[in-house]
Amino acid sequence: MKIGFIGLGNMGSPMATNLVAAGHQVRGFDLTAPCPDGVVKSASAAECATGQDVVITMLPNGAILRTVAAEIIPAMAKGAGFVDCSTVDVESARTVAEDAVLAGLLPVDAPVSGGVGGASAGTLTFMAGGSDAAFAKAAPLFDVMGQKAVHCGGSGAGQSAKICNNMILGVTMIATCEAFALADKLGLDRQKMFDVVSTSSGYSWSMNAYCPAPGIGPKSPSDNGYKPGFAADLMLKDLRLSQMAAEAVDADTPMGAAAAELYRRFVEEEDGKGMDFSAMLPRFEKRHRNTGN
């Protein structure tokens, strides 16, 4: 296929590289990031989108997505696929999809799970929202960039699935870090804690695959000074999106709200900015029950 790729940052660049390696013709555009090898640089987003079979976007937020969409939709050929892999609010995803459908395009909101490592290895999971025809148009590219793509429903369903997934992830990581900090103060060996919980009813992805305790379980960012695999800043963004969605549909999400507030404090008032989201463990280690210090 002829593909336009807009947004060549930490995630977009390796995704575009994998498309080139699979034999696709890829043009790219980013305001600041360079094009990876094999991707032909465009002078603008509209130029990048012109004449392509599919345009993929990987952008920071809903406002930027709306701005880029307004520029590229008029430039795209009828019947082209518009695959947005950004993680944005559901309303932005649906608004952009509506505009794309009116222009005769096949839009899919397809946020990803798997981080930079998954983008590089081509093992991302895509959570897709859109029509059957739009999903079918994008599916061969999902096969190149990822290991799994789930068609979650109509437009906005991909973003809904991503937001719900990451709300669970944020809550369970906090609970895992709290439990390790409590176990430390109770005098329980961390390895013994892991051996019990990872094979008992408390097991979770946060414990078993991404353990926040250094030297315990599979290798994770905790073993690398908490340099981000998934940054706390991005977890805060996703938790805020979950609370925006919850407010919009009048859903009661007290644990999600508490997780959002804890990550807000961690990122904005403490030392969490630029750290992995599992760095909540050293945060809790330093704190006491009543004083909060």
Residue 148 has what DSSP assignment? E
Q: Which residues contact 163 (CB under 8 A, 6 or more apart)?
A: 87, 90, 238, 241, 242, 245
- Tally Cβ neighbours within 10 Å of residue 34: 11
- Residue 47: its H or E element: helix 45-49
In which residue are the tokens 């463990």 written?
281
Give the closest residue to 72 by CA, choosing from 56, 87, 85: 56
Q: Which residues contact 102 (CB under 8 A, 6 or more apart)?
A: none
Q: Where do runs of H (alpha helix) occur along 25-156?
A: 45-49, 62-72, 90-102, 115-121, 132-145
* Cα torsion angle, 9, 11, 15, 18, sign: positive
Given the residues 78, 162, 273, 286, the one annotated as active site: 162
Query: Strand, coil or helix: what is 210?
Result: coil
Question: In the annotation, is 162 catalytic?
Answer: yes
Any idea which residues carry the catalytic annotation? Answer: 162
